[in-house]
């Protein structure tokens, strides 16, 4: 089954008409995109794009053989023409199936917004899923639910190709992965691309981070054909200064994956309204499906994904069902430092899936396939971890070992801290869980005025360097822009 993308942009296209934003100003060449439209094997046209006949001709295709034109969503962009000789566009009712004479079968799937998704099967059994802009499939997100909530999807297995609005709805991709409809061999292509993400390298970087890609208008895809996708890093460290956007970058990297465990090391601060506001902002930003663990006992969580690894140590804190404390990255500072203040409280004590062929590993796949353990009740599993942040973890550990007192530090505090940080780094090296960790970069500012401040800065620098050495990817976030230091 051959799919030609006559357009890959949002309904208004990219650049948007009359829009002065930087993304629209730089959307030129292959990064300029007309409204998304698909031509399937030259006989089925899904959605319309401006000048579809010319768009097809530029791609080396013709619309002369089109026998069916289907619409997926109410159109709010530029007026669309229906070329002479084409059938009048229509929509298939949710749950209904349309059989074409050439062997294609089209099933309409319910989505959680205006429009309809389409599952298209070829004569040889290839399958693709196409979703309208800003939509996710309804009734998907468990191990057995079929898109649209009709029938059992498990027998059909994952799709060969999925075309969806990855940038606006990463949670749609997470639902498909949780339901077993996308695996490591599924080709995930972003469509309905709008001006919310800068075109060019940044667009492709963000998509690669979640196992997806973008192609230019006029590209043809062969459904079921192997396409190399970037290997997703198992361990990523995201560094940045205060309010740099490092937590947002970390959250973005896992937004398209199911069953993420958010590890909050910041604890609570009674009576601190500013801290409570930061907690609220982080909570609102994260997907509601993520679970939260509030603890500084990180080693058991890292060991949980290993064969024979324990879910938690005695006294270690497990995930609290239904709770989302939303702890943000720590940015309160001691006078003369740029790092989180020592003494911040903590509330707790201390799938390489094979898919259907060669493909990238996506977080959580090692638990036994894309749908393994989807839903509540997963313990001692390989769910991705987002740790926010290492600076507050270090603050907690330095409190416990008495690192702020010079005499205690020299009498054994230094050695005790080294043992704790070495244990954490060893657990990162051995973990089989996907991990995205956040930490403060504090080595670029003024020298702290106090011995305690200098000690904390030095130890955080050592921890960041040791942690980064065990990560496949290391990012530095400056002014909201992620710079790749490794990977």
- pLDDT, position 59: 94
- pLDDT, position 249: 96
Look at 51 and 361; give whichever has higher pLDDT: 51
The arithmetic mean of pLDDT across residues 370-398, rounded, is 72
Q: How far apart are CA 164 and CA 215, in angstroms?
A: 13
Look at 313 and 282; give whichever has higher pLDDT: 282
pLDDT at 22 over 90: yes
- ω before 389 within 30° of 0 (cis)? yes
Look at 194 and 322; give whichever has higher pLDDT: 194
The pLDDT confidence band at residue 361, using thresholds 50, 70 and 90, is very low
Q: How far apart are CA 53 and CA 57, in angstroms?
A: 6
132-191: pLDDT as tens digits: 999 999 987 643 334 444 333 444 799 999 999 999 999 999 999 999 999 989 999 999
CB 293 within 8 A of CB 266: no
- pLDDT, position 272: 67
At residue 366, φ and ψ (nearest 5 deg) are -75, -5
Question: Among candidates 134, 141, 125, 6, which has minimal Cα distance to 61?
Answer: 6
- pLDDT, position 336: 36
DSSP 133: T
Of 29-38, 69-78, 159-168, 214-223, minimum mean pLDDT range: 69-78
CB 333 within 8 A of CB 344: no
CB 173 within 8 A of CB 149: no
Of 217-231, 362-376, 401-415, minimum mean pLDDT range: 362-376
Q: Degrees (nearest 5) of the Cα angle 82, 83, 86?
A: 85
Q: How far apart are CA 12 and CA 35, in angstroms?
A: 6
Of 90-99, 248-257, 327-336, minimum mean pLDDT range: 327-336
- pLDDT, position 271: 67
- pLDDT, position 282: 67
- pLDDT, position 149: 44
Pairing label, strands 235-240, 473-478? parallel
* Chain centre distance of CA 476: 18
Helices (H) and strands (E) in the chain, counts: 11, 18
Q: How far apart are CA 62 and CA 72, in angstroms?
A: 21
Of 97-106, 125-134, 349-358, 438-447, minimum mean pLDDT range: 349-358
Average pLDDT, the chain: 82
At residue 10, φ and ψ (nearest 5 deg) are -65, 165
Q: How large a percentage of the chain has pLDDT more than 90?
A: 63
Look at 52 and 334; give whichever has higher pLDDT: 52
106: helix, coil or strand? strand
Helices 414-430 and 451-469: angle between axes, nearest 10 degrees: 20
For 36, the token pair is 């998304």
40-82: pLDDT as tens digits: 999 999 999 999 999 999 999 999 999 999 999 886 656 677 8
- pLDDT, position 392: 93
Q: How large a percentage of the chain has pLDDT more than 70?
A: 77
- pLDDT, position 286: 72
Of 21-35, 184-198, 355-369, minimum mean pLDDT range: 355-369
Q: Buried b vs exposed e over 219-252: b needs ≥16 C-beta within 10 Å?
A: eebebbeeeebbbbbbbbbbbbbbebbbbbbbbb
The pLDDT confidence band at residue 280, using thresholds 50, 70 and 90, is low
Whole-angstrom Cα Rg for the chain: 25
Residue 156, C-beta contacts closer than 8 angstroms, at least 6 positions apart:
127
- pLDDT, position 85: 86
- In the beta sheet, which residues pair with residue 33? 14
The pLDDT confidence band at residue 381, using thresholds 50, 70 and 90, is low
Strand order of the β-sheet with 44-46 is: 68-70, 44-46, 37-40, 2-7, 220-222
pLDDT at 332 over 90: no
- pLDDT, position 11: 93
Of 225-229, 349-353, 442-446, minimum mean pLDDT range: 349-353
Q: How far apart are CA 154 and CA 180, in angstroms?
A: 7
With residue 173 as reference, give the H or E element that holds it. helix 170-178
């Amino acid at each position: 089954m051959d799919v030609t993308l006559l357009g890959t942009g949002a309904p208004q296209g990219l650049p948007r008409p009359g829009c002065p934003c930087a993304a629209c100003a730089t959307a030129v060449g292959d990064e300029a995109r007309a409204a998304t439209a698909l031509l399937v094997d030259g006989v089925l046209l899904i959605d319309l794009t401006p000048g579809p006949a010319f768009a097809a001709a530029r791609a080396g295709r013709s619309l002369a053989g089109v026998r069916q034109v289907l619409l997926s969503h109410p159109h709010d962009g530029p007026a669309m023409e229906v070329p002479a000789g084409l059938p009048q566009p229509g929509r298939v009712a949710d749950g209904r199936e349309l059989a074409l004479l050439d062997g294609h079968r089209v099933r309409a799937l319910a989505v959680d917004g205006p429009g309809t998704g389409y599952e298209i099967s070829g004569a040889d059994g290839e399958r693709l899923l196409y979703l309208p802009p800003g939509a996710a499939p309804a009734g998907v997100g468990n191990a057995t639910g079929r898109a649209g909530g009709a029938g059992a999807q498990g027998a059909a297995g994952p799709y060969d190709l999925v075309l969806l609005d990855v940038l606006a709805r990463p949670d749609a991709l997470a639902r498909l992965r949780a339901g077993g409809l996308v695996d490591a061999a599924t080709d995930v292509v972003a469509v309905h691309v709008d001006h919310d993400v800068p075109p060019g390298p940044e667009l492709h970087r963000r998509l690669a981070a979640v196992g997806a890609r973008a192609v230019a208008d006029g590209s043809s895809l062969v459904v079921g054909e192997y396409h190399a996708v970037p290997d997703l890093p198992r361990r990523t460290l995201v560094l940045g200064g205060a309010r740099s956007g490092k937590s947002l970058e970390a959250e973005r990297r896992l937004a398209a994956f199911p069953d993420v465990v958010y590890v909050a090391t910041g604890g609570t601060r009674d009576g601190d309204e500013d801290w409570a506001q930061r907690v609220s902002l982080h909570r609102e930003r994260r997907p509601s499906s993520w679970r939260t663990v509030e603890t500084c006992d990180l080693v058991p969580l890292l060991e949980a994904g290993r064969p024979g690894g324990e879910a938690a140590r005695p006294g270690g804190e497990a995930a609290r069902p239904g709770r989302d404390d939303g702890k943000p990255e720590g940015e309160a500072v001691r006078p003369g430092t740029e790092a989180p203040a020592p003494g911040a409280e903590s509330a707790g004590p201390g799938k390489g899936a094979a898919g259907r062929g060669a493909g990238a590993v996506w977080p959580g796949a090692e638990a036994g396939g894309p749908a393994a353990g989807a839903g509540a009740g997963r313990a001692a599993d390989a769910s991705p971890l987002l740790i926010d942040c290492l600076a507050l973890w270090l603050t907690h550990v330095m409190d416990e070992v008495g690192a702020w007192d010079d005499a205690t530090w020299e009498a054994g505090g230094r050695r005790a801290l080294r043992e704790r940080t070495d244990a954490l780094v060893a657990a990162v090296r051995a973990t089989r869980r996907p991990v995205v960790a956040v930490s403060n970069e504090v080595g670029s500012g003024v020298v702290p005025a106090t011995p305690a401040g200098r000690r904390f800065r030095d130890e955080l620098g050592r921890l960041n360097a040791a942690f980064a050495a065990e990560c496949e990817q290391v990012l530095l976030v400056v002014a909201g822009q992620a710079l790749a230091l490794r990977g």
